[in-house]
Amino acid sequence: MADATHARHDRDSVVAAALGILDEWGLPELTMRRLAGVLAVQASALYHHFENKQSLLAAVSDRIQDAMRPAPSPEVGWYEATLVEAVNVRDSLLAYRDGAEVVLSTRALGLGTDAAHARLTAALARGHDPETAGLVATALLHLILGDASHAQQRLQADSLGAVAPGVDDASDPGLVFRLGVELLLSGLELAVQSARRE
């Protein structure tokens, strides 16, 4: 029976089921017990594919990041490429309920492939040295994760009617996000120009 279970539910199908739970019920409800119930297996069968829940969440995080749109054409300069990639990363996080929280928590633990950071670094490396590209990619990813986490928490609070009376955030979240990214990238550009003049 165990062999049939393992053959029927491979690692990819377990991650797909976990993503389904995440999207429908949210991260607090993504438990090994619930996942096993959805797959109609014993919870112990899941440990054939994943050592623990953290490794499962790392695989879920990787799948969320794998959904990013293709990178910009190589002909696109660093500034525009990075702006496009920042939007790509944010959109992939927002595509799943609590997606930002999953990626944030697994990244904080040093788990998963960290594809979002790699994509941002590659875009920045079109115009900057590897060390600068990596550092700025980290700062930019922190901005993206914070923005996406806020957006998802606000959506959930709105759906539950839990937003405090009188709170009216009339600003366009996408516009505010883009402004933040552009300010960071413009600051980098000014810093590089200043260093060249010295």
Q: Of 194, 198, 170, 89, nearest to 137 (Cα)?
A: 89
Domain limits, CATH 1.10.357.10, in the chain: 64-197
User: Positive or negative, the Cα torsion across 159, 164, 168, 172?
Assistant: negative
Kindly give the interhelix angle for 173-197 and 130-160, rounded to the nearest 10 degrees.
160
Q: CB count, 10 Å around CB of 146? A: 14
What is the CB neighbour count within 10 angstroms for residue 175? 9
What is the structure's pLDDT at 5?
Answer: 39
**Where in the chain is CATH 1.10.10.60?**
2-50
pLDDT of residue 162: 62
pLDDT at 3: 43
CATH of 64-197, one of 1.10.357.10, 2.60.40.10, 3.40.50.2300, 1.10.3210.10: 1.10.357.10
Q: What is the pLDDT of residue 172?
A: 78
CATH of domain 2-50: 1.10.10.60
| Tens of pLDDT, residue by residue, the chain (198 residues) | 344 434 478 999 999 999 999 999 999 999 999 999 999 999 999 999 999 999 999 999 999 999 999 999 999 999 999 999 999 999 999 999 999 999 999 999 999 999 999 999 999 999 999 999 999 999 999 999 999 999 998 877 666 666 666 655 656 778 899 999 999 999 999 988 887 776
Dihedral sign, Cα of residue 110, residue 112, residue 117, residue 118: positive
**DSSP state, residue 52:** S
Could you say which DSSP state residue 27 is in? G
Predicted structure pTM score: 0.86
